[in-house]
Structure 1
Amino acid sequence: MVRALASDLRGAHPRIDVLANNAGGIFGDRTKTVDGFDVTFQVNHLAPFLLTHLLLDTLTTSGASVIQTSSAGARLLGKVVLDDLEHDRDFTPQRAYGTAKLDNILFTQELHRRFHGRGISAAAFHPGTVASNFASNSGNFVQRMYGSRVARLLMTPPAKAAGQLVRLAEGRPGTDWVSGTYYEKGKPAKRNHPQTRDKDISRQLWDRSEQLLSLPQE
């Protein structure tokens, strides 16, 4: 599906100003996709990584912005283990989700390092705890939390949460936001996962993702 989407986009849009990789989710029991990957890892990381990779030529010539919807869960729950990216050894839905959201930030940083000089700008952001149907099929306490009427009163309305994505999409990189940066509440995050400071982790995650998807090495 991702390859077909990329082909359709290339055919219909010779110029792409903004690519917003917004799809994601937390799921329940460990499930493998038809491609053989954990569904959380594939939906949250491999799919947007592949789509971006397949559109690189268009994105670079367009001077595009690539925006990743990440989460504060990256800092709270995530840990990238390069020889166990899908948490085969210690899987929980929360751990898999947090790591996938951390993957989003590391991917953003590495995309900036590799392609900013060729025209691409990249940012990741946390939309907040949004009163949406997030986690509706997870079958765990996250689903119960998001389904609680009381909790939802304290959550961010979807339209307000979407405003952060709109601001990044409409903003000018280098003027309104800084490429390679992860944002929370519209500002560069004050707290970040320690692994986001490790350039080698970002590089190796990129290389490993290319290998898993049988992509040519950049």
Structure 2
Amino acid sequence: MSPQHDRELPPPTGMVGRTVILTGASSGIGRAAARALSALGADVAVVGRNPDRTREIASELGAEPFVADFGRLSDVRELADQLLERFPRIHVLANNAGAMQHAREYTVDRNERTFQESHLGGFLLTSLLLPRLIETAADAPPGSVRVLQTASIAARGGRIRLDDLDNQHGPWLGGWRAYSNVKLENVIFIKELARRLQGTGVEAFSFHPGFVRSNFGAGNWAMSVLNFVTQGHYGISPEQGAEPLIRLAATPEVGFPSGTYFDRLTGDGPTAPQAEQRSLAAGLWRASEERVARS
């Protein structure tokens, strides 16, 4: 391992004059990251599904709230229109929206909900904002413009089948199988995005935030048992979980190539073998384009 790779993400620096689009910002690590990035001087667009919580955190920060339900791809398209109209420059897009579904459900767009909310919604938003990100990078200092994706160590248990992206086959397992699969899709998406962005000045990174104490997985039996046994004391705080996102957004020198997956603050984190399969990445990209085009 080279000295460049034998270290953690550097601490964040100031973000005055930079615009951050942060989805899933109304609770958990998204809410903590919104506070921290705003304190660093960033102009944060607070995106959330819950109107009250989204407006509450936006008001606290003096930021602008944007309400969107990623279970409706029409909401994502409308969100992108609003963001493009409001922000002439976008420096960081942090795809942090998503959840685990304790029961198998389908959206109005006819996609399994975990797949849509945790992958397709971010894929579509990224695609719609990408021209603005590339424009911003054209006259911004290196390391200023990035796409970030909240993934998970659960990706190590994922196994993607392009003919079963809706997880229709096999046991549901309280949502864990679908969640592991979609987190692997997050990692693969960022690796493929990084390849497609070569030469544009836009970088892309994914990360595992750690096992965070939050409302994530509410209603899931396994999470409920864990919470009961530990009396709510398992895991790290949302503020700690937000640290990789904050550093990836705010440090000018990541020290790892675009496309890298971080296990918290450590680059080249372990994930499933499928993460390195370029043919699978290309296939997932094509399938995602087809899914969002039909909405």
TM-based fold match above 0.5: yes
Give 1:176 deviation, angstroms.
Answer: 3.9
Alpha-carbon separation, structure 2, partners of 1:155 and 1:178? 29
Report the secondary structure of 1:55's partner residue. Answer: helix
Residue 91 of structure 1 deviates from its aligned partner by 4.5
Q: Does structure 1 residue 49 correspond to structure 2 residue 119?
A: no
Establish whether residue 163 from structure 1 lines up as the match of residue 243 from structure 2.
Answer: yes
Q: Which has the higher helix share?
A: 1
2:178 to 78, 96, 102: 96
Query: Following TM superposition, by how much is the alpha carbon of 1:79 offset from its aligned partner in structure 2, in angstroms?
Result: 0.8
Q: Which residue of the other structure, out of 86, 108, 121, is the alignment partner of 1:34?
A: 108
TM-fit CA distance, 1:177? 4.0
Return 101-110 or 149-158, whichever deviates more: 149-158
Which residue matches 1:84? Answer: 164
CA contact (8 A) 1:30 1:91 kept: no
1:59 aligns with 2:140: no
Q: 1:144 maps to which residue?
A: 225
On the 8 A contact 1:70/1:104 being kept in 2, the answer is yes
1:213 and 2:287 correspond = no
State the number of aligned residues. Answer: 211
Shift of 1:142: 2.5
Whether the aligned pair in 2 keeps the contact of 1:123 and 1:179 (CA below 8 Å) is yes
5 Å-filtered alignment, 1:13-24, equals 13-24=87-98
TM, length-normalised to structure 1: 0.92
What is the identity percentage for the equivalent residue pairs of Structure 1 and Structure 2?
38
The one-letter code sitting in structure 2 at the alignment partner of 1:203 is: A
1:108-149: CA deviation from partner (whole Å, max 9, x where unpaired)? 0000000132222100000011010110133x212332x336
Partner of 2:155: 74
Task: Report if aligned partners of 1:60, 1:120 keep a CA contact under 8 Å in 2.
Answer: yes
Q: Which ranges in structure 2 are unaligned for 5 or more consecutive residues?
A: 1-74, 138-144
Query: How well do the aligned residues superpose, as a CA RMSD in angstroms?
Result: 1.5
Q: Secondary structure at the match of 2:97?
A: coil
Provide Cα deviations, 1:67-121, integer angstroms capped at 9, x if missing partner: 0000000112x11101111111125111100011111000000000001322221
Q: CA deviation at 1:190?
A: 4.0
Letter in 1 for 2:249: A
- Whole-angstrom distance in 1 between the partners of 2:85 and 2:124: 17
The residue identity in structure 1 corresponding to 2:283 is Q
Q: Structure 1 counterpart of 2:123, which letter?
A: F
Quote the offset at 1:153 in angstroms: 2.3
Where does 1:119-134 land on structure 2 (aligned, <5 Å)?
Answer: 119-134=201-216
The structure 2 residue matched to 1:6, chosen from 55, 74, 80, is 80
Distance 1:41 1:151, change over 3 A: farther
Per-residue CA deviation, residues 20-46 of structure 1 (Å, 9 max, x unaligned), is 001111111110111111110011000
CA distance in 2, matches of 1:84, 1:40: 13
Give the Cα–Cα distance (whole angstroms) in 1 for the partners of residues 229 and 252 of structure 2: 38
* Letter aligned with residue 156 of structure 1: I
Q: Structure 1 regions of 5+ residues with no counterpart?
A: none
Kindly indicate whether residue 228 of structure 2 is the aligned counterpart of residue 154 of structure 1: no
SS at match of 2:164: coil
Larger Rg: 2
